[in-house]
Amino acid sequence: MKDNTSLLSKVIWYDIDKDGCINKPLNYEAAVYIYMKKISFNSEACYYVGSTAQLASRISSHKCYVINWNKYKNRGSSIFYKSVLKHGWINFKFGVLEYIDLSTNTDTKQNKKIILDREQYYLDNINPSLNICKTAGSPLGVKRDIMFSINLSRSRRGKSKKLDTRVNIINKKPKIVTDESRLKISLRCKGVSVKVFDKSNNLINEFPTLTSAAKYFGVHTKTISMIYKTGKSYDNYIYKFNIKENKVWVYDSNHKLIKTLDSLKKTSEWFNIPSSTLFNYIRSGKLYKNKFYFYNANSKTNPYLDNDC
């Protein structure tokens, strides 16, 4: 056991409630942090050390992984999460070992190295028993069961690994994403807007997409998506989601409704119209080939909605 007394004596410990919320407001800044399992009779304190570029986001992720442990068994330290599941968050304390100032450096790779180097320092000197990996940023030391190896083998079966040679790298053309490609991607996804409220049900902010909400709170889009799917919030806010209307109403030249389709993609396939062309006619409200008008929630004018049909 390392002599970690001097390092741990400087830590300010905060209590954690049963839901994993820490009684300290956390900022979205780089830090090396630590969890301590409270000392019980005839037992020593156990520790888990981690590092992150966004502290508040990482703590939310820990809560998410515990709640959805069956789905995230291969994420992070299984010893730490299993200990939380067994004893509960309320039997743990949280502290920050060191905040890391990255404001003067814009190199992402260099920032990551700085953070991992600081984490490694504390891993070496504290030797936390709840960390499986003793090397920061590396899976070395993690023992996988036989099913992990079998599933990994199946997923890679029949695939050949392509090695980039110097010639390939030089001659490799940059990937260009056209407006039509972006449109096709958007057609596969239902738009979801987000409203965020505090506990008193006061509106904090409204966002047109999950991505914009995630960017505002400094978390990964998957975190907001998980709240949308499970209905469980991992912070002190209330999230309300609204699926945007994707239906397309088709009218003849006399503005008589002749068909309603569920999405832009289905409309494009039904009338054999390129998706980019369809999108332009929906936005402009112009008559297509002197036969059809196309409208949806994004149209400048929509007689279907205007007439409350």
pLDDT (tens digit per residue) in 135-160: 887 665 556 666 666 666 666 665 55
For the entire predicted model, the pTM comes to 0.48
pLDDT (tens digit per residue) in 154-209: 666 655 555 554 445 455 566 676 655 655 555 445 568 889 998 888 888 888 88
* 120, pLDDT greater than 90: yes
Dihedral pair phi/psi, residue 54, rounded to 5°: -135, 100
pLDDT band for 228, please (50, 70, 90 cuts). Answer: confident
